[in-house]
Amino acid sequence: MILVTGGAGFIGSNFVLDWLAHSDEPVLNLDKLTYAGNRRNLDRLEGDARHVFVQGDIGDTGLVARLLAEHRPRAVVNFAAESHVDRSILGAGDFIQTNIVGTFHLLEAVRGHWLDLPEAERAAFRFLHVSTDEVYGSLTPEAPAFTEQHAYEPNSPYSASKAASDHLVRAWHHTHGLPVLTTNCSNNYGPLHFPEKLIPLMIVNALAGKPLPVYGDGMQVRDWLYVGDHCSAIRRVLEAGRVAETYNVGGWNEKPNIEIVRTICALLDELRPRADGQSYTTQITYVKDRPGHDRRYAIDARKIERELGWRPAETFDTGIRKTVRWYLDNADWVAEVQSGAYREWVKAQYQGAA
């Protein structure tokens, strides 16, 4: 069995579904079910004995220790985190608590479990920490993409908290010998993405006839990766990654935000044209920029390709088409996640501009 934390969130739930589609090894899924966690993401696993769901906090050492003793996982994949940069700007407390303090408690509980394992199991055990390219800071337009050697220069409360958690993971290996792996991935998109992030927000706002709020000049660059490709990268690193190494994961797909938004509009114009015959691009609205907004991220993913033979399977064209179709086909999921709390967030963040 493996323990997945944060497996009811966007990437975590895609990972659990993907894992059980590729293997019969059971998953123990520990998730606090914050606003970003959604049991419905795992509906397909209802009644599947290979999936054990527990609602709880990675920072609850007693609970985590009990779960580890009872289920004896051979690996932990840690997705659990507060993940939205804009929320970290409005209030960083939960980010510090989960991403830093929570990761510390999780590492301690896992270390206790690992030390109790018989020697062969101890040697095979892995703690895979899922991190982000944002820990490397921002690139100028001409700078080479981030390699694993790039200095950590986090700029937002979110990325600083993720950087801190990466450092803890590194230290728990260096000092205590815990067999860790770290992945630093670029921006994901795909099914089950909570509509507070750029791509799903633009799709659901477009369909609702609302403004499409582009921050600043819309020329910030991100490197987009289809979520299924991130899942296959994590599976591969867990299987064959070298202990204590970090692997950058990216889509070789840098695009400015405004191009992403225009692509979504063009797909919707094709697949669900507006009743008035106008393009969805007429809904694009430039709004005030994100404070401290990183200008460009780009991942150099040659190490994971060279060492582990991983490359993304989707191009941006195939991935974004699948994604838009998924949102068109899953209007009930969208309606359900747009609860009162979601509406409060949109009101606070966009103040009428979305």
Q: Using CB under 6 A, pick the residue from 85, 88, 102, 237 that binds ligand NAD.
A: 102
Q: What DSSP letter does each residue of 168-190 carry, written as one string?
A: HHHHHHHTT---EEEEEE-EEES
257 in contact with ligand DAU (CB under 6 A): yes
Q: Which does 314 bind (CB under 5 to 8 A by kind): ligand NAD, ligand DAU, none?
A: none
Residue 165 site contact among ligand DAU, ligand NAD, none (CB < 5 to 8 Å, cut-off depends on kind): none
Which 8-state DSSP code applies to residue 96? I
Q: Specify the residue, 169 or 280, whose C-beta has the smaller distance to ligand NAD.
A: 169
CA distance 103 to 15: 19
- Answer for which of 37, 137, 200, 251 binds ligand NAD (CB under 6 A) is 37
Beta carbons of 151 and 184 less than 8 angstroms apart: no
Nearest distance in Å: CB 58, ligand DAU: 16
Residue 212: both structure tokens together: 């499409």
Subset of 300-339 contacting ligand NAD (CB under 6 A): none
Quick check: 186 binds ligand DAU (CB under 6 A)?
yes
Note whether 255 and 316 are within 8 A (CB): yes
Q: Which of 158, 189, 247, 280 is catalytic?
A: 158
The encoded tokens of residue 342 equal 């979601």
Using rule CB under 6 A, residue 57 touches ligand DAU: no
* Residue 133 a catalytic site member: yes
Q: Which of residues 11-40 bind ligand DAU (CB under 6 A)?
A: none
Does 80 bind ligand NAD (CB under 6 A)? Our answer is yes
Of residues 237, 106, 235, the one with CA closest to residue 182: 237
Stretch that binds ligand DAU, among 71-79, 98-106, 130-138, 337-345 (CB under 6 A): 130-138
Q: Which residues contact 62 (CB under 8 A, 6 or more apart)?
A: none
Q: How far is the CB of 302 from ligand NAD (least distance, A)?
A: 18
Return the H-helix or E-strand segment holding 13: helix 10-22
- List the structure tokens of 353: 């501009």
Of 71 and 167, CB closest to ligand DAU: 167
Which residue has tokens 């840690």?
A: 78
In the block, tokens 């490359």 appear at 311
- For the chain, the 3-state helix, strand and coil shares in percent, each to the nearest 5, are 50, 15, 35
User: What residues make contact with ligand NAD under the rule CB under 6 A?
Assistant: 5-6, 8-12, 30-34, 36-37, 57-59, 79-81, 83, 98, 102, 130, 132, 162, 185, 187-188, 194
User: What residues make contact with ligand DAU under the rule CB under 6 A?
Assistant: 83-85, 132-134, 186-187, 197-198, 201, 213-215, 220, 222, 257, 290, 297
